[in-house]
Amino acid sequence: MTGSGRASPEPLTSGASTAAAPRRWRLGVSIVDYGILIAFVVLSAALALLTPTFLTSGNILNVGRQVSIVAVLAAGQTFVILTAGIDLSVGSVLALSGAVAAGVAASVGWAPGIVAGLLIGAGAGLLSGLAITLLLVPDFVATLAMLSIARGATLIYTGGQPIGVAEGGLRFLGGGTIGPIPVPIIVMLVVFVVSIVVLRSTTFGRYVYATGGNRRAAAFSGIDVNRVRVLVYVVSGLLAGLAGVVLTGRLATADPQAGVGYELDSIAAVVLGGTSLFGGQGTVARTLLGALILGVLSNGMNLLDVSPFLQEVVKGIVIVIAVAFGNLEQLRHRALGA
Amino acid sequence: MAELLPTPSTATRVVADAPTGAPILALRGIRKSYPGVIALDGVDFDVRQGEVHGLVGENGAGKSTLLKIIGAVERADAGTIELDGRPIQLASPHAAQAAGIRVIHQEFNLFPALSVAENIAIDHLPSRHGVVDRRAVRDLARSARDRLGVALPLETRVDRLGVADQQLTEIARALSADARLLVMDEPTAALTEHEIDALFRIVRSLRDEGVGVIFVSHRMEEVLALSDRVTVLRDGRVVGETARPTREQIIRLMVGRDVSELYPDTSADIGGPALELDGLSVAGRFEDLSFTVRRGEVVGLAGVIGAGRTSVGLALFGLLRPTSGQVRLDGKPIEPRTAHEAVKLGIGYVPEDRKALGLVLALSLRHNETHPILPWLSRLGWIDKRRERLTVEERVAQLEIKASSIDARVSNLSGGNQQKVLLAKWLEIKPRVLILDEPTRGVDIGAKAEIYQIVADLAKSGVAILLISSDLPELLGLSDRVVVLREGRQLATLDRADAGQEHVLSLVTTGAAA
């Protein structure tokens, strides 16, 4: 790491938003995203002016590390929301996966621990998906149930006590660095690159957009929509599991109360990114921007000593303003009409 | 008198018959463009008191856009609108309603969870101290219904109704208000003869009361029968306006050429049985159907709405579970339980309602067209985009699908081009059986002829085609054989030679031969 001023922008912009690399734009960001990108840049610039610490490499890496957990959840949430579904269970599934990973790591080894954490997450997603498609439980209800079930299972598994994590691969996943970059940031970037590619270039990705855009038309095109709908919950569960494993490694302990309220943060990131809650429209690259805005906002408010209580209020207001801003074009039409 | 005058949009109107009254609404030099398309290019249009003004044109000619501007759903980019000779700005659909303009849209704007009566009365719910007066609602709805002279179940939820009854509800809703200008966009598409007669009686009596009516329909006979004056739109311009033109004059203006032969030669080499129905029944929908569709053959399903034709298609496509009987494909019994399974077996389906069931409107032409064939265009789930692009481009050129590019949103295409995309989808996988449900509904004459050619080519390539259509000339023009359904039962199976139009019409409507 050399002079902090020069090196600092790299981690933050290394996602899909590097202005100097137009090809990157085609990875999923289009003209419409400039609004949210501008908001992100303005917010960052303002914080850079207002605080001496914001634009230091230490702080930027810190933001990246903090954002990575919610961003990974939000990537999975994007798949679900693109099919016009919703996954409210991700925070609890994160806690369950983290606890199981820590437990298995302690008794068997860190590698089986990581695998067990991921499988638990994917399994929870599978159950939600099957309840939605086979039992016809509305997605909101099914994942709300899973939120409760996974949290309860976590408390049962841990006996309500944190599980410590010894040195090893699990700790590296959460707390290690590769070069100057913390591993969680790398995990996050890999998750987003893979998600972008899956949504853009695979049949599954196309089926996700088709199912969310018009489920009945997708079925009439011969798409196995129930399979698609189950799979997006598996993806969301798997990524919640991954986030849980990373968080556990970072904190070196599995807290049974981890991830409370994260489902709302992940949904907020997706919505900030402009993905339609009605499905079929949006990209996962924009979700990353949404997560970054939330992360920078909360970091900035911490640096500015804003009370944590007030922070929650500001976050809510920012979400409303940002989404309204995204609808500016529509709003203007309506204003003209009125 | 009834000379058809091609009028440049700038020229002064020459009206053949004496004006029936002062213009209620006059539009001058209306322009409207959407991304990539100029929908209206300087349109002048007016409606007078006590006249029915027919508006015709191919799909994409700009009719819908013009109606949206009149109903204030959309705003024009340029031009003026005058109401009773005074320029006005219609700010919202509500303002248009307040000005006495009532639009019956092609897509129903009904509230599915409310009753028929509530839907009819929704625009001015009678209430006392803020509480809806249910009895007044019912009275209002009943009088609107009785005026229409049809049997509508007033207490039934709208989502339990068939398409025809939903259409009648929409019309009754418009009639319940005192309209000065009534705009009807394809109001008869789902109606029976009897209901159409009743509607026409009402339109005429409203006209005699001084109401101005704009009537849009693809059914030329209806426009000719009802209109005092007809305006023809083509490519966003008015290409003609006249009192009481002939059918041939209108068609020539609409397409810009004579439509000589609509139906292509469909004499394909007919092979062995592809699809066989053996006593197939779905309880409550249809009973005991037995017929065969052979390779290269077009079999038409004739019947009125409610005869069970669409249910037959859905059952074959895995979307309705047969309660008894058997379906065989190439001699082997099949029981698809989902559409996905049916497609894997080689069955394709072009649904009647292309916006709700056929297309993902937010996605591009390319994505829509390749959904069923992605497994063929990909390896291990990875799409070969170059091959996809080439496949789609070739097909778009072959079918003359008009779009700014293959990545244009399919919602920006005209109805005829959307329908071609729907057909193109299935051309790619070469299905063994293709079910077409109203393949030319809401499609203009030019696109119809092209779609007929596609159907004929498919049959020639050996596809077994089951054609469901309410358009009798179309059904008889394309089918090698016709199966007549009435109230879910198979009434007759006729060869093309025996299937005269009057004969089939009499069978489907009365159950007896003419």
Taking CB atoms within 8 Å and a gap of at least 24, the contacts of B194-200 are B195/B150, B195/B164, B195/B168, B196/B222, B198/B148, B198/B149, B198/B150, B199/B148, B199/B171, B200/B225, B200/B226
Is some CB atom of chain A closer than 8 A to the CB atom of B374? yes
CA distance B52 to B58: 20
Check if A280 contacts B (Cβ < 8 Å). yes
Q: What is the pLDDT of residues B77-94, one digit of tens each?
A: 999 999 988 898 888 888
Note whether A202 contacts B: Cβ–Cβ < 8 A.
Answer: yes
Residue where the block lists tokens 């591009």: B364
Evaluate whether A277 touches A271 at the Cβ level (below 8 Å). Answer: yes
Tokens of B192: 């029976």
pLDDT at res. A45: 93
Q: Give the residue ranges of chain B where pLDDT is below 70.
A: 1-20, 35-37, 59-60, 107, 255-262, 266-268, 305, 501-502, 505-506, 509-514
* Closest CB from A203, A206, A219 relative to B339: A219
Which pLDDT belongs to residue A327? 66
Report the alpha-carbon distance of residue B503 to residue A37 in Å, rounded. Answer: 67
**CA dist., res. B154 & res. B115, Å (int):** 7
Residue B94: Cβ-neighbour burial (10 angstroms; 0-12, 13-18, 19+): exposed
Per-residue pLDDT of chain A in tens (338 residues, 90 and over written 9): 333 333 333 333 333 333 333 333 444 444 455 777 888 888 899 999 999 999 899 999 999 999 999 999 999 999 999 999 999 999 999 999 999 999 999 999 999 999 999 999 999 999 999 999 999 999 999 999 999 999 999 999 999 999 999 999 999 999 999 999 999 999 999 999 999 999 999 999 999 999 999 999 999 999 999 999 999 999 999 999 999 999 999 999 999 999 999 999 999 999 998 888 889 989 999 999 999 999 999 999 999 999 999 999 998 998 888 777 666 655 555 554 43
Pull the structure tokens for residue A97.
């996966």
Q: Does B356 sit within 8 Å of A219, measured CB to CB? A: no
Cβ–Cβ below 8 Å for A217 and B338 = no
B94 close to A (CB below 8 A): no
Contacts of residue B356 in chain A, CB cutoff 8 Å?
214, 216-217
Cβ proximity of B491 and B507 under 8 Å:
yes
Largest CA distance in chain B: 72
**Helix residue spans in A134-257 (DSSP H):** 139-158, 169-175, 183-201, 203-213, 215-220, 225-251
Residue showing tokens 């209901």 = B195
> Which residues from A are below 8 Å from B32, CB to CB?
none
For residue A122, give both structure tokens.
């994917």
**Residue B459 tokens, joined:** 């049959």
Instruction: Tell me what pLDDT residue B15 has.
Output: 38
- Confidence at residue B348, expressed as pLDDT on a 0 to 100 scale: 93
Q: How many CB atoms lie within 10 A of CB B288?
A: 14
What is residue B410's DSSP assignment? G
| Residue A338 with chain B: CB contacts under 8 Å | 91-92
For chain B, say whether A32 makes contact (Cβ under 8 Å).
no
Q: What's the gap in Å between the CA of A106 and the closest CA on chain B?
A: 37
pLDDT value of position B185: 87
Angle CA(B479)–CA(B485)–CA(B490) in degrees, nearest 5?
105
Residue A338 to chain B, least CA–CA distance (Å): 5
CB proximity A213 to B under 8 Å? yes
Closest residue to B362, CB basis, from A204, A213, A222:
A213
What burial class does residue A52 get, using C-beta atoms within 10 Å of its C-beta: 0-12 exposed, 13-18 middle, 19+ buried?
Answer: exposed
Contact status, residue B154 vs residue B144, Cβ threshold 8 Å = no
Q: Which of residues 240-269 of A touch B (CB under 8 A)?
A: none
Report the C-alpha gap between B123 and B173 in whole angstroms.
8
Q: Which residues of B touch A227 (CB under 8 A)?
A: 340
* Chain B residues touching A221 at Cβ < 8 A: 343, 371-372, 425
pLDDT at A4: 37
Residue A222, chain B, CB below 8 Å: the answer is yes
Q: Which residue of A has its CA nearest to B350?
A: A220
CB contact under 8 A, A216 and B378: no
**For residue A206, which residues of chain B lie inside 8 Å, CB to CB?**
367, 370-371, 374, 383
For B303, left (φ over 0), alpha (ψ -120 to 50), or beta? Answer: left
Which residue from B482, B487, B460 is spatially nearest to B471, judged by alpha carbons?
B482
How confident is the model over A129-187, as pLDDT tens digits? Answer: 999 999 999 999 999 999 999 999 999 999 999 999 999 999 999 999 999 999 999 99
Contacts of B25 (CB under 8 A, 6+ apart): B46, B47, B70, B81, B82, B83, B101, B181, B212
Do residues B118 and B111 touch, judged by C-beta distance below 8 A? yes
Q: How many CB pairs under 8 A join A and B?
A: 85
Tokens matching residue A102: 């820590």
Query: Complex ipTM, two decimals?
Result: 0.79
User: What local confidence, expressed as pLDDT, does residue A7 receive?
Assistant: 36
Q: State the Cα–Cα distance between residues A133 and A146, nearest whole angstrom.
A: 15
